Chain A
Amino acid sequence: MKILIADDEMMSRKLLQKTLERAGYEVTVVENGRQAAEQLCVPDGPRLALLDWVMPELDGPGVCREVRKTNVQSYVYMVLLTSKESKEDVVAGLESGADDYLTKPFDREELKARLRTGLRILSLEDRLIEAREEMRFQATHDGLTALWNRGVIVDLLGRELARSRREHVSTAILMCDLDHFKSVNDTYGHVTGDDVLKETAKRLLASVRSYDFVGRYGGEEFLVVLNNCKPAFAFARAQEICKAIAQKPMPSSSGPVPITMSLGLLLSQEWGLRPVEELLHEADVALYAAKVAGRNCVKLASPNVSLTAPELQEHDHVRMRR
């Protein structure tokens, strides 16, 4: 564990440094409060600090205030180490944001014990952050495929559409659906079906750029958002996705499973200022057209082409079945 010692007095620095190195700490030493605040506020800087009270440029309590004000990345456990020992000093030190207070000359064992307390608190904070991140991931990602979940991918699409309108570029929406997926579940069972979905997610991610978005939209439906994307590129990418899915059977616990994917492609620039829900519906209509055309292909949503009433009825029927 890294620890910072800030003390303007050379003997104290030397003594503390040696004591803490012997105790297994990775020690950084500075001579004034300004340097201490800078070191403690850098990413991956020390998270434990021993601060002298009286120092040039910025005193110990000043360092505590500065760190508490600016350091947002992770908690820094700060111990004031000084010869000031009145109750008023203790209160002032702790009020400045210090976590603990030790008087000079320090007792070696007490110092180590108090630093162990600091380590316990930092470890507790790490576990809390880990749990929070885990919850955040679960709230935003699909549990099976680890892709963005439906709520998030639709939200990301909304933001991306707003951005592309501001910048007068096009966003491509790909509504993707595995063909005859129900028969995979029926033939091989749901475990194999899950394997196919996970592999599909991998192949989709491998087929797009790092700044594109891929989400699980429903059971075997996926939504891909290609940012800042010219029409020719979008169409080529959609066809590559088709190929990436169909080219090799999906590995699964039941052995290789051949499967294909149909895609509905929509280019936002062609659709003006329509709301997200409407664009998703139109991409879905294009997906239906791909299904009707024999599956394993891409169909482009066009604002000039609309389904007839019976086709719309059939589309809704197919959608419900899916």
Chain B
Amino acid sequence: MHNAIINFTELLARVENDRELLRDLLLIFKGEFPGHLQALRDAVDSLDGDRVTAEAHTLKGMLANLAATSAADAAARLELLGQNRETSKFQDACSSFENVSKDLLLQLDRCMAEVGG
């Protein structure tokens, strides 16, 4: 049921089935993600290519660690747009990313429950 955005099987393998470590990682993600998402939104709204690139890069890394490939790809697209200063495409790309993120956060809660968080 968790395969929609987060590949839970891959994630468990990545932490060598260490559920305690997984719980720690999920907690870190849950604590850090909203701040970075907001920072990305602010950068997009102010059409700041450098900040879009930096925030999208950070989010991409976090999502890749979480085995959330589609969400990481969406962040990667924003990073590329930021690098290329394609400011006209920022809003759409960011909205897509925010939509993916909503689903991701819902799934994250289910993952937390599964690992006893």
Is the beta-carbon distance between B15 and A104 smaller than 8 angstroms? no
Question: In the complex, how many angstroms separate the beta carbon of A22 from the nearest chain B beta carbon?
Answer: 7
A9-B58, A108-B16 are known contacts. Are A83 and B64 too (CB-CB below 8 A)? yes
Is the beta-carbon distance between B21 and A11 smaller than 8 angstroms? no
Is the beta-carbon distance between B21 and A14 smaller than 8 angstroms? yes
A180 proximal to B (CB < 8 A): no
Contact string against A for B residues 44-69, beta-carbon threshold 8 Å, 1 for contact and 0 otherwise: 00000000001001101110111100
Is the beta-carbon distance between A10 and B16 smaller than 8 angstroms? no
Q: Bound state CA distance, A11 and B15, in angstroms?
A: 12
Is the beta-carbon distance between A18 and B64 smaller than 8 angstroms? no
Q: Bound state CA distance, A19 and B65, in angstroms?
A: 13
Is the beta-carbon distance between B65 and A15 smaller than 8 angstroms? yes
Contact string against B for A residues 124-153, beta-carbon threshold 8 Å, 1 for contact and 0 otherwise: 000000000000000000000000000000
Question: In the complex, how many angstroms separate the beta carbon of A105 from the nearest chain B beta carbon?
Answer: 4
A54 proximal to B (CB < 8 A): yes
A-B contact count (CB 8 A): 49
Count of chain A residues with Cβ under 8 Å from any Cβ of B?
Answer: 15
B8 proximal to A (CB < 8 A): no
Residues of B with Cβ closer than 8 Å to A? 14-16, 18, 21, 24-25, 28-29, 32, 54, 57-58, 60-62, 64-67, 76
Is the beta-carbon distance between B14 and A108 smaller than 8 angstroms? yes
Is the beta-carbon distance between B32 and A11 smaller than 8 angstroms? yes
A9 CB contacts on chain B under 8 angstroms: 58, 61-62, 65
Is the beta-carbon distance between A105 and B14 smaller than 8 angstroms? yes
Chain A, Cβ-Cβ closest to B36: A9
28 contacts between A and B (CB under 8 A): A9-B61, A9-B62, A10-B28, A10-B32, A11-B25, A11-B29, A11-B32, A11-B61, A11-B66, A12-B62, A12-B65, A14-B25, A15-B14, A15-B15, A15-B65, A18-B18, A54-B57, A54-B58, A83-B57, A83-B60, A83-B61, A83-B76, A104-B64, A104-B65, A105-B14, A105-B65, A105-B67, A108-B14
Known contacts A14-B21, A104-B64; can you find 10 more A-B pairs with CB under 8 A? A11-B25, A15-B21, A18-B21, A54-B54, A54-B57, A83-B60, A83-B61, A83-B76, A105-B64, A105-B65
